[in-house]
Structure 1
Amino acid sequence: MGVTETAKSVIINTASGSSAEIYLFGATVTSWKAGGKERLFVSSKSALDGSKPIRGGIPVCFPIFGPPPSSPAEYASLSQHGFARNQTWKLDKIVMDRPEGVSIRFLAPSPPSSFQHAYKLAYVVTLTEHQLSTDVHIVNESEEQEFKFQALLHSYLAIPDSSKIKITGIDKQTNYKDKILDGQILQSDGGELVIDKPIDRVYQKVPSQEIHVDDGAGSGFKVRFRGFEDCTIWNPTEEVGKNIADMEDKGWERYVCIEPGYVREFKTLAPGEEFIGQQIITAL
């Protein structure tokens, strides 16, 4: 069997030797091994006991991304990145269990009582030899009211040295919000991105829907997304990273966050409507 349940997580394996571990807390993917290498970064200082969100892996941000908005009230009272990454999910079903690939589905619990919206939130994780696919499914279960949300997969991709990577795939003239520059809206020049200073950019409606990371050591990643239209790219470097309490020393040198999502605005679902946001990461 390619699926193993423990008290805290679910581990999936393929015949090729690839594996992934998903914590029930936050449905956070904490490990993905492909080609004999760990492909995700998790800080050694991260809490793994459910006391706070996991620092690393692939946290699920929902129903907001970033600081809460000023209104409406039930959104304004939320914590950073929403509550999904702080909830204990459950394994709902094994979608596929074959030697070449394994796919499992998780369901989120009900929202906090202060968040009065009827929705269903599911998360499907699929593993093959060289790919990890993570799909968010959101259904508005209200018969009368619209449901507004943001959703993002905060993926920490493991790399040997962030100062040597090159990021491509952002089309020229793609708008982005630069959080380092107080939220200014700027345009991409279409060139390679390098990490030589703190970067925290939300690229909006990325036409290619595909980002490439050359890790400078003959390997890297291809990140494709569908349904999700935006992509945040983040690395704090030492300038900001040294002030993150649960970030290990020099941890920022060993990851880059490539984060597909729908976050430039709120996505609105009509009663009964479904949203699917998909991320497919290929280890190169």
Structure 2
Amino acid sequence: MGVTETDKSVIINHESGSSAEIYLYGATIVSWKSGGKERLFVSGKAALDGSKAIRGGIPICFPIFGPPPSSPPEYASLAQHGFARNQIWKFEKTVMDRSEGVSLRFTAPLPPTEFQHKYKLAYVVTLSEHQLSTDLHIVNEEESKEFTFQALLHTYLAIPDSSKIKISNVPQGTTYVDKILGGKKVESDGVDIVIDKPIDRVYHKVASQEVHVDDGLGGGYKVRFRGFEDCTIWNPTEETGKKIVDMEDKGWEKYICIEPGYAREFKSLAPGEEFIGQQVITAL
């Protein structure tokens, strides 16, 4: 086991042979290896020099998800998905280093000056033999007013072939916003989801709090979440994927985005209140 720091990232090694690498830029996890396989997809065209958000891995969307809202002004002026994924985070400390897992804590810098809100944003990454846990901690440090936000972990899971996967465990009747259909609200029929056309859905209040991915070759993932209530499922397929400038050729065939978050509305925290959003990914 061990933790190695470089000028751009922190690398975790577990005694089982699993590993993870977290860039300080955005606290983006760019690699997770378990069972001898890379479990996260990062585009071969991704910018890794801090010039733009990293295409792949696990970027953090905060304090908004998607395009900015029309108001209030400090939120309306934000870039898509907010600013956390474009900030330089700090590796604060090793929380745990045992056979059960290695856990590191990262903290975000202050927000841009035009975003006048007081909060503390921290991220705890825990690696074990077959699991990667990511916990986002948000504390409202305002003395007398609420702090509102959205937050989401934009996880790119590596898969051999997106056309062969099945996504399950989204309960029948779960409402989702279908962005492919212009934001139409639809109720899930509960059947397995396959990637035979572009998919971009934000599922609201997923009661199971766990989404399963069968990679079609006897492996896959379980993605469990707590605190986070919603889950976006996204793959652009070739139709849209080839228009993404930092997406490698046919990259859309190599991943599925399963993205736990608080995204259907804004979460409000009272002064001093803390929110913890957790994602636990198990490699099968």
Deviation at 1:99, TM superposition (A): 3.3
**What are the superposed Cα offsets for residues 187-216 of structure 1, whole Å, 9 maximum, x if unpaired?**
000000000000000000000000000000
**What are the superposed Cα offsets for residues 233-264 of structure 1, whole Å, 9 maximum, x if unpaired?**
00000000000000000000000000000010
Contact preservation (8 Å) 1:15, 1:100? no
Q: What TM-score does the superposition give when structure 2 sets the normalisation length?
A: 0.99
1:148-159 correspondence to structure 2 within 5 Å: 148-159=148-159
CA distance in 1, matches of 2:227, 2:71: 25
- Whether 2:250 is the aligned partner of 1:262: answer no
**What are the superposed Cα offsets for residues 66-96 of structure 1, whole Å, 9 maximum, x if unpaired?**
0000000000000000000000000011100
Name the counterpart of 1:115: 115
Name the counterpart of 2:75: 75
Deviation at 1:101, TM superposition (A): 1.2
Name the counterpart of 2:237: 237
Q: What TM-score does the superposition give when structure 1 sets the normalisation length?
A: 0.99
Which consecutive residues of structure 2, in runs of 5 or more, have no partner in the other structure? Answer: none
CA distance in 1, matches of 2:46, 2:14: 27
- Whether 2:139 is the aligned partner of 1:133: answer no
Contact preservation (8 Å) 1:14, 1:100? no
- Identical pairs, percent: 79
Deviation at 1:98, TM superposition (A): 1.7
Q: Which amino acid aligns with 1:136?
A: L
1:1-284 correspondence to structure 2 within 5 Å: 2-284=2-284
Pairwise CA RMSD = 0.5
Aligned length: 284
CA distance in 2, matches of 1:208, 1:159: 23
Contact preservation (8 Å) 1:2, 1:99? no
**What are the superposed Cα offsets for residues 134-191 of structure 1, whole Å, 9 maximum, x if unpaired?**
0000000011110000000000000000000000011000000000000000000000
Deviation at 1:55, TM superposition (A): 0.1
Q: Which amino acid aligns with 2:159?
A: I
SS in 1 for 2:181: coil
Deviation at 1:100, TM superposition (A): 3.5
CA distance in 1, matches of 2:186, 2:4: 46
Q: Which amino acid aligns with 1:194?
A: V
Runs (4+) off by over 3 Å: none
CA distance in 2, matches of 1:203, 1:99: 35
Contact preservation (8 Å) 1:43, 1:246? yes
CA distance in 1, matches of 2:105, 2:155: 18
SS in 1 for 2:27: coil
CA distance in 2, matches of 1:100, 1:84: 29
CA distance in 1, matches of 2:27, 2:127: 15
**What are the superposed Cα offsets for residues 117-138 of structure 1, whole Å, 9 maximum, x if unpaired?**
0000000000000000000000
CA distance in 2, matches of 1:64, 1:257: 18
